[in-house]
Structure 1
Amino acid sequence: MMNIPPFINTIIGQQPYPLLFAIISGSHLYGFPSPDSDYDLRGVHILPVEEVVGLETGNETIEVSEIREALEIDLVTHDVKKFFLMLLKKNGYVLEQLYSPLVLTTSPEAEELKFIAKGCITRNHYYHYIGFAATQWKLFENERTYRLKPLLYVYRVLLTGIYLMQTGIVEANLMKLNEVFNLPYIHDLITQKIAGKEKSVVSNVNVDFHQIEYERLRHKLQEVYESSRLPEVPSANAALHNLLVRLRTNVKLRK
């Protein structure tokens, strides 16, 4: 279990709307936080009915960015309807948030959502992961300083995508993923990142080697996408609709 600074729970408690759940994402979720890594907090809030159907509507997205005790805090929460609509698209970010084990606050309805959202996982999440990996590889390659973070993101994203296509399970932690894939260089890269600063560079980097591995894993992701037994389209629309209606009208979840 990670040690969560007390001020994070204070920030969560200060949010203006009830939270379906709130979690920690980013490098902490992915298994390679540096001592100076910022805290990426993500969650889902529930706008009351009057701020959805009235003339004055509430914020679908709330963002808070501040520095506390020399650490940057980045909080983003989406209204439940917006989050559900993103779940119905090929959006790996929201799946990873929903299934994050680093939970700050939750609810019985959030646990219900985890079950429902299994019907949102499709083969087409391949496009999220293949595109995200390409973006991170370009960032790593073009900076010419060869920072650790984008390189680790490349491997994390590709292995998450491959594992999802093979199993239908969302796993965003690179250390846990490597227990399955056993890539010998991953442990050293994570060790460097955890021991250094957020913007540390790769020591003794062999860019040609990492490019070969990047291409190999991209091809692997394409192969498992083509053979995946995951459905083409989500099947959770009706269940999400029913849950949304209950959440909007459940006064027990209102502050």
Structure 2
Amino acid sequence: MPFFKYLDYKFYFDKIVFKDSLFIVVSGSHAYGWNTENSDLDLVRVFYPTVRQALSVMFRCKNNHFKDKFNNKIVDCTEYPIQNFISLLSKGNGNVLDNLFQSSNNELCIIRQDKEVKELQKIVIDELHDGFRKHFLGYDMSLKKDLSNESRLEKYGMNKLLLSRYRLLQEGIILCEHKEVVYNLLKQMEYIDTKYCEDLLNSYIESRKFYRYKNCIVEIEELRQKLESLQLPKYSGLPYCLDTWLIDKYIAMK
């Protein structure tokens, strides 16, 4: 089991079922690179339901979400049955794409089936399609609207919303240009040169004032224009390849 630095393993043995998990990872701010002492801990678990749970109309296994507390820290856990995770991945969902590649990071991964994770990662990179790029653009547009919404601004703050826009757009650009999944904001800076992103990130982590919001917004819009100008294949064999992979796994389990 990989080393995990955020919480005591006992929490997971008490609260989360390890059996039949494809992986359990830390996501959210800890993965993106802007976690602070006050950050919640976001966990994602992908697991294999039983054949009945996977196929039954009456007892089909659904996504599960729960919150708990450990060492005065909020733990927010989302669990995906493998078929739901595969479905989202095949459609180009960037969130589950991040989760899949976070599972390769030993500082974020609690448990994983290494062979299966590598197989899925290879399938996705070999069969990338434009749905991923559109996901990043769509999510960014939602965050852009949040910047004009007082309740959302109050909840998340200007800095975090702008950091999220930087991260999404840069991840999309790197995916299109390099065919790599880079979800961490600091690592993205190794690929894309920005003038204001690092200062914004440091000001957020250090809880200090930031004065260049207008510059950030201009720079972010330039990143958006660049991502809009790029393209991945409109169609790919990703849905078929993922579906075939999943069927083979269940046949092997019998």
TM-score of the superposed pair, with normalisation by structure 2: 0.85
Indicate conservation of the 8 Å contact 1:35/1:195, yes or no.
no
User: Which runs of 5 or more structure 2 residues have no equivalent in the other structure?
Assistant: none
Alignment of 1:9-28 (within 5 A): 10=12, 14-15=16-17, 18-28=20-30
Distance in 1 (CA, whole Å) between partners of 2:11 and 2:112 is: 12
Query: Could you tell me which of 93, 111, 131 is aligned with 2:138?
Result: 131
Match of 1:95 in 2: 97
Alignment of 1:32-51 (within 5 A): 32-51=34-53
Indicate conservation of the 8 Å contact 2:23/2:111, yes or no.
yes
Query: Could you tell me which of 115, 118, 121 is aligned with 2:125?
Result: 118
Q: Which has the higher contact order (CA 8 A, sep 6+)?
A: 1
CA offset at residue 208 of structure 1?
2.5
Which amino acid in structure 1 is aligned with residue 160 of structure 2?
Answer: K
Alignment of 1:126-205 (within 5 A): 126-143=133-150, 146-196=157-207, 203-205=209-211
Which amino acid in structure 2 is aligned with residue 4 of structure 1?
Answer: Y
Say if 1:2 and 1:11 are closer, same or farther in 2 by CA, change over 3 A. Answer: closer
Count of residue pairs brought into register by the alignment = 243
Q: Deviation per CA, 1:216-249, whole angstroms, max 9, x where unpaired?
A: 1111111223xxxx32123133432332123334
Query: Could you tell me which of 86, 89, 98 is aligned with 2:88?
Result: 86
Which amino acid in structure 2 is aligned with residue 116 of structure 1?
Answer: I
Identical-pair percentage: 26
Query: Could you tell me which of 57, 61, 65 is aligned with 2:59?
Result: 57
CA offset at residue 8 of structure 1?
7.4
Match of 1:199 in 2: none
TM-score of the superposed pair, with normalisation by structure 1: 0.84
Query: Could you tell me which of 194, 201, 208 is aligned with 2:214?
Result: 208
Q: Deviation per CA, 1:97-130, whole angstroms, max 9, x where unpaired?
A: 1011221111122221111222442123221111
Indicate conservation of the 8 Å contact 1:43/1:76, yes or no.
yes
Indicate conservation of the 8 Å contact 1:88/1:120, yes or no.
no
CA RMSD of aligned residues (A): 2.5
Distance in 2 (CA, whole Å) between partners of 1:16 and 1:191 is: 36
